[in-house]
């Protein structure tokens, strides 16, 4: 009885109620899906559900024209599950197609109410860990409705969002056909083939006219008989085609994601496996899951870019695709506890990276702050999980990885635009005290609450940084950025060289200039080499950034102090004594040590800044290409050379005594900056404690004078310079006493 009543009631309700297109569409879709399930269990119930779908259509979707339910009715009558599944997919995609057309028409007519209603009849991309569903169409439409955008740009944004989504769904449907064929799931394979066909019909306007008829035939053949062969034909037909072109921003975002995520796969994998006696085992599931998440991110980005890449070079794209799939298979094996060795995975990764390097122009690879933020968030989440589990070593690895992404990415630009913010972020990552830095929390095995507090603060700062640098990656900005970085870092090194070389002008010590030059030039080459090696694997280098700088800096300071000791005690003192023979003897007696010392000084003075400069420049290359970075670097080097020459010229023009005083003052200034920066970097990496002074100094003081607002920094800088100056006055005092004693004796 009820079975007869339900349809009648539903039919009556259709005359009484008209519903929103989105509500009606969802009822049609859901009812047909349930009807399909019921077909083999309770066909009568299927019949009711089909009727529900029909009524819903009448109530809300008549604007799309009458729908053809006959295929569904026929399939239901003969209980043909496959035919029913195909008809369901066909009807559903025709609704999506009609809704999209209605949306365009409504927008052209400026009928916002209708447009808003039809915009809701759509599908969305599957949300991933890295990409929440797109909201461009919704926001563009609201901007148009609020009269803050024009129809043309709104239509473009809607087209990019919706057609991009349907193209992604088309790719997924084809993958599903493949998967279901492998599992002999005939109904599901046919249904996905019909879905793919429906999405293609929706997207066909963007398909080349010359091949359209053939493509339609290929899709129909796939629906009629899903097989590996018919699937391959379809895949070949659509390879390299994209219905809605990606905007430049979206293209760059995908390219940056692809390269970034791809390079992180082996980093994570290496932490999750170990190989002993030729046998590879999983040691950390979490790392394998992370590697897989990065692969999924890279694969999604590649899929979006594929059509553009094919246009550049079809063979290289095919090679990149094959390797990406191979890496995917290797990770799947690892998830089933049958891991391949790290070397094997790396081989596949490198084989995939090579064609991508050639395919993707540098201009596309702009490291967007948002892409980096996604990865940093991911690592910070991993850090929290590790800390929860008491796995402190793993937590530290996650922290260093997150910091490496920052340093190899946007940090260079943050330092340029907002040095204070860069310092704050640095302290949050390392050993800050309010809130506690992440490194400190991990080292002290702190609480989750402390970690979450710092993480929250860090994410706020990173969002600020992303806003700050996220809008400008123009070549001019990169040029200026590179120029300032190289000039600032180069100036410090050149001043030391100029000062020391200036003081080594006398013929008897002239030979000591050579090792200084050799060291400096060697460091210059080492920095250039570092820059070249870093290409493509900048992330791996960034992991060592701060600690390496801390070690090299302290070597530079120690050597500088030794050299200065010698400098003041011998050059100045002996010069005044005019005891040439004595001095020569003294110098010759220790020349090997001095030579080596000067060589080390020359090298460390340059390389301590050279490494970080190379790292930053490499990240700028990723953002805007090599030309603007090299131009900025060249101009900066020229400027640094000019400053060096000017210092030399000034030294030459000055009377000898004044030159010595000038050089001494210069070296003291350089020592002040070097010691300050060294103390700061030691505090950052947690090798020295931090006792802050008040609310801090302006960022420029830290940047140019190496003076940061901590008691340790000020104290050690003062002690270092006082020691050197004091030792000079001590020497002077001793000399006067000796002379007085000699005079008295005479």
Q: Which of 116, 274, 569, 576 binds other proteins (CB under 8 A)?
A: 116
Beta-carbon contacts of 594 under 8 Å, excluding residues fewer than 6 positions away, are 512, 563, 566, 587
Q: Evaluate whether 43 touches 76 at the Cβ level (below 8 Å).
A: yes
* Contact criterion met (CB below 8 Å) for 475 and 624: yes
Instruction: Compute the distance between CA of residue 245 and CA of residue 168 in angstroms, rounded to an integer.
Output: 13
Q: Choose between 123 and 396: whose C-beta lies nearer to other proteins.
A: 123
Q: Are 597 and 559 in contact (CB under 8 A)?
A: yes
Taking the C-alpha atoms of residue 290 and residue 449, their distance in angstroms, rounded to an integer, is 24
Residue 474 touching other proteins (CB under 8 A) = no
Angle between helices 248-272 and 392-407 (to 10 degrees): 150
Kindly provide the b/e burial profile for residues 633-647, where b requires at least 16 CB atoms within 10 angstroms of the residue's own CB. bebbbebbeebbeeb
Pick the stretch among 8-16, 62-70, 114-122, 724-732 that binds other proteins (CB under 8 A).
114-122
452 lies in the site for other proteins, by CB under 8 A: yes
Q: What is the largest CA-CA distance in the chain?
A: 138
Tell me the per-residue interface mask from 17 to 36 with other proteins, x by CB under 8 A, - otherwise: ---x-xx--x--xx--xx-x
Q: Per CB under 8 A, does 47 bind other proteins?
A: no
User: In the complex with other proteins, which residue's Cβ is closer, 180 or 353?
Assistant: 180
Cis peptide before 656 (omega within 30 of 0): no
Task: Report in angstroms how near the CB of residue 134 gets to other proteins at its nearest.
Answer: 8
Among 448, 529, 661, 665, binds other proteins (CB under 8 A): 448
Q: What is the CA radius of gyration of the chain?
A: 35
Whether the Cβ atoms of residue 339 and residue 273 lie closer than 8 Å to each other: yes
Q: Which of 142, 178, 344, 357 binds other proteins (CB under 8 A)?
A: 142
Nearer to other proteins, 183 or 581 (CB): 183
Least CB distance to other proteins at residue 696 (A): 29
Residue with tokens 């404690």: 689
Q: Shortest distance, CB of residue 192 to other proteins, whole angstroms?
A: 9
Q: Please count the residues of the chain.
A: 746
Element housing 312 (H / E): helix 285-312
Contact with other proteins (CB under 8 A): which of 103, 117, 483, 587? 117
Q: Return the residue of 127, 577, 642, 649 that touches other proteins, per CB under 8 A.
A: 127
Looking up tokens 């059509």 gives: 307
Q: Which is nearer to other proteins, 292 or 423 (CB)?
A: 292
> Which of 554, 549, 489, 503 has the alpha carbon at shortest distance from 666?
503
Q: How far is the CB of 185 from other proteins (least distance, A)?
A: 4
Closest CB to other proteins among 177 and 218? 177
User: Toward other proteins, which CB reaches closer, 287 or 489?
Assistant: 287
Angle between helices 228-238 and 209-224 (to 10 degrees): 160
Nearer to other proteins, 21 or 355 (CB): 21
Dihedral sign, CA of 214, 216, 219, 220? negative
Please, which of residues 183-202 interact with other proteins by CB under 8 A?
A: 183, 185, 187-188
In contact, 79 and 46? CB cutoff 8 Å:
no
Q: Give whichever of 22 and 257 is closer to other proteins, judged by the CB atom.
A: 22
Task: Please say which residue, 127 or 596, places its beta carbon nearer to other proteins.
Answer: 127
Sign of CA dihedral 475, 479, 480, 484: positive
The 372-411 contact track toward other proteins, x by CB under 8 A, reads -------------x--xxx---------------------
Q: Give DSSP secondary structure letters for 72-141.
A: HHHHHHTT-HHHHHHHHHHHHHHHHHHHHHHHHHHHHTT-HHHHHHHHTS---PPP-SS-PPP-HHHHHH
Sole residue written with tokens 């053949």: 221
Distance CA 284, CA 276 (A): 15
Tell me which stretch binds other proteins (CB under 8 A): 115-123, 197-205, 397-405, 508-516. Answer: 115-123
Report the residue from 139, 362, 484, 725 that binds other proteins according to the rule CB under 8 A: 139
**Stretch of 8-16, 129-137, 700-708, 730-738 contacting other proteins, by CB under 8 A:** 129-137
Q: How far is the CB of 187 from other proteins (least distance, A)?
A: 6
Work out how close the CB of 423 gets to other proteins at its nearest, in angstroms, rounded to a whole number. 26
Supply the minimum distance, in Å, between the C-beta of residue 474 and other proteins: 25
Interface mask toward other proteins for 281-310; x: CB under 8 A: ----xx--xx--------------------
Strand partners, 13: none
User: Residue 120 or residue 692: which is nearer to other proteins going by CB?
Assistant: 120
**Please, which residue, 390 or 507, has the CB nearer to other proteins?**
390
**Residue 450 contacts other proteins per CB under 8 A:** no
Residue 24 C-beta: closest distance to other proteins, Å: 11
Asked if 514 interacts with other proteins (CB under 8 A), we say no
Q: Tell me the three-class secondary structure of 32-88, residue by residue.
A: HHHHHHHCCCCHHHHHHHHHHHHHHHHHHCHHHCCCCCHHHHHHHHCCCHHHHHHHH
CB-nearer residue toward other proteins: 127 or 229: 127
Query: 305: exposed, middle or buried (C-beta count within 10 Å: 0-12, 13-18, 19+)?
Result: buried
How crowded is residue 746: how many other Cβ atoms within 10 Å of its Cβ? 5
Smallest distance, other proteins to C-beta of residue 349, A: 22
Q: Which of the 8 DSSP states describes residue 226?
A: -
- Binding of residue 132 to other proteins (CB under 8 A): yes
Smallest distance, Å, CB 113 to other proteins? Answer: 10
Report, in Å, the least distance between residue 620 CB and other proteins. 27
Q: Whose CA is closest to 287, among 383, 374, 206?
A: 383
What DSSP string runs through 488-537?
HHHHHHHHHHHHHHHHT-SHHHHTTHHHHHHHHHHHHHHHHHHHHHHTT-
- Choose among 596, 609, 599, 633: nearest CA to 521: 599
Residue 124 touching other proteins (CB under 8 A): yes
Residue 41 is a binding residue for other proteins (CB under 8 A): yes
**CA 394/CA 382 separation, integer angstroms:** 9
Q: How far is the CB of 442 from other proteins (least distance, A)?
A: 16
Taking CB under 8 A as the criterion, the residue among 14, 58, 71, 138 binding other proteins is: 138
Q: How many residues bind other proteins (CB under 8 A)?
A: 43
**Between 103 and 188, CB nearer to other proteins:** 188
Task: Report d(CA 206, CA 201) in Å as an integer.
Answer: 10
Give the binding range for other proteins (CB under 8 A) out of 116-124, 422-430, 522-530, 587-595.
116-124
Alpha carbons 299 and 306: distance in angstroms, whole number: 10
Nearer to other proteins, 410 or 493 (CB): 410
Residue 334 touching other proteins (CB under 8 A): no
Choices 133-141, 243-251, 532-540, 695-703; region in contact with other proteins by CB under 8 A:
133-141
- For other proteins, the closer of residues 131 and 683 by Cβ is 131
Which residues form the interface with other proteins (CB under 8 A)? 20, 22-23, 26, 29-30, 33-34, 36-37, 40-41, 116-117, 120, 122-127, 132-133, 135, 138-139, 142, 180, 183, 185, 187-188, 285-286, 289-290, 385, 388-390, 448, 452, 456
């Amino acid at each position: 009885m009820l079975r007869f009543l339900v349809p009648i009631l539903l039919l009556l309700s259709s005359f009484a109620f008209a519903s929103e297109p989105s509500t009606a569409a969802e009822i049609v879709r859901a009812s047909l899906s349930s009807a399909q399930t019921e077909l083999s269990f309770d066909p009568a119930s299927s019949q009711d559900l089909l009727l529900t779908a029909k009524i819903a259509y009448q109530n809300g979707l008549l604007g799309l024209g009458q729908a053809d339910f006959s295929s569904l009715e026929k399939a239901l009558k003969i209980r043909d599950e496959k035919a029913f599944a195909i008809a369901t997919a066909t009807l559903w995609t025709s609704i999506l197609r009609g809704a999209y057309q209605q949306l365009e028409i409504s927008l052209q007519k400026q009928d916002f109410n209708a447009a808003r209603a039809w915009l809701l009849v759509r599908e969305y991309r599957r949300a991933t860990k890295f990409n929440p569903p797109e909201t461009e169409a919704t926001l563009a439409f609201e901007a148009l409705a609020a009269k803050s955008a024009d129809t043309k740009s709104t239509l473009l944004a809607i087209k990019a969002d919706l057609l991009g989504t349907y193209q992604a769904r088309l790719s997924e449907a084809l993958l599903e056909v493949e998967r279901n064929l492998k599992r002999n799931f005939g109904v599901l394979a046919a249904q996905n083939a019909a879905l793919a066909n429906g999405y293609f019909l929706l997207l066909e306007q963007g398909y080349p006219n010359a091949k359209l008829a053939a493509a339609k035939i290929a899709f129909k053949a796939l629906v009629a008989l899903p097989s590996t062969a018919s699937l391959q034909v379809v895949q070949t037909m659509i390879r390299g085609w994209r219905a809605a072109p990606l905007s430049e921003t979206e293209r760059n975002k995908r390219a940056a994601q692809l390269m970034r995520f791809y390079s992180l796969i082996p980093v994570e994998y290496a932490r999750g496996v170990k190989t002993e006696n030729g046998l590879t085992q999983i040691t950390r599931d979490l790392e394998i899951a992370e590697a897989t998440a990065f692969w999924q991110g890279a694969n999604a980005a590649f899929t979006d870019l594929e059509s553009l890449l094919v246009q550049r070079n079809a063979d290289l794209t095919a090679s990149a695709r094959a390797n990406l799939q191979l890496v995917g298979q290797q990770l799947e094996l690892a998830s089933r506890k049958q891991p391949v060795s790290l070397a094997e995975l790396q081989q596949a990764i490198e084989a995939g990276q090579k064609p991508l390097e050639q395919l993707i122009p540098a201009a596309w690879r702009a490291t967007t702050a948002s892409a980096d933020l996604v990865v940093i968030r991911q690592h910070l989440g991993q850090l929290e999980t590790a800390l929860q589990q008491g796995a402190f070593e793993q937590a530290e690895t996650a922290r260093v990885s997150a910091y490496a992404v920052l340093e190899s990415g946007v940090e260079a630009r943050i330092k340029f635009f907002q040095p204070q913010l860069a310092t704050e972020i640095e302290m949050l990552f390392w050993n800050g005290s309010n809130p506690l830095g992440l490194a400190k929390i991990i080292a002290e095995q702190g609480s989750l609450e402390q970690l979450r507090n710092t993480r929250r603060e860090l994410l706020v700062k990173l969002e600020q940084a992303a806003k700050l640098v996220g809008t400008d990656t123009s070549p001019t900005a990169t040029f200026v950025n590179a120029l300032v970085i190289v000039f600032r870092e180069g100036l410090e090194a050149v001043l030391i060289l100029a000062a020391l070389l200036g003081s080594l002008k006398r013929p008897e010590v002239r030979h000591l200039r050579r090792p200084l030059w050799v060291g400096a030039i060697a460091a210059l080459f080492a920095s250039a080499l570092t820059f070249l090696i870093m290409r493509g694997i900048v992330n791996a280098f960034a992991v060592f950034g701060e600690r390496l700088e801390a070690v090299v800096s302290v070597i530079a300071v120690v050597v500088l102090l030794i050299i200065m000791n010698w400098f003041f005690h011998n050059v100045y003192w002996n010069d005044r004594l005019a005891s040439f023979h004595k001095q020569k003897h003294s110098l010759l007696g220790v020349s090997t040590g001095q030579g080596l010392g000067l060589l080390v000084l020359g090298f460390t003075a340059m390389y301590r800044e050279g490494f970080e400069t190379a790292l930053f420049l490499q990240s700028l290359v990723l953002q805007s290409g090599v030309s603007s970075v090299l131009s900025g670097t060249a101009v900066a080097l020229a400027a640094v050379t000019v400053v060096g020459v000017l210092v030399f010229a000034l030294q030459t023009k000055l009377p000898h005594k004044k030159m010595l005083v000038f050089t001494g003052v210069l070296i003291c200034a350089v020592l002040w900056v070097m010691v300050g920066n060294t103390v700061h970097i030691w505090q950052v990496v947690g090798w020295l404690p931090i006792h802050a002074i008040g609310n801090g100094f302006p960022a420029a003081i830290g940047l140019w004078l190496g003076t940061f607002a901590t008691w340790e920094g000020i104290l050690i800088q003062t002690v270092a310079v006082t020691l050197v100056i004091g030792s000079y006055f001590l020497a002077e005092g001793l000399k006067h006493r000796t002379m007085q004693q000699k005079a008295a004796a005479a």
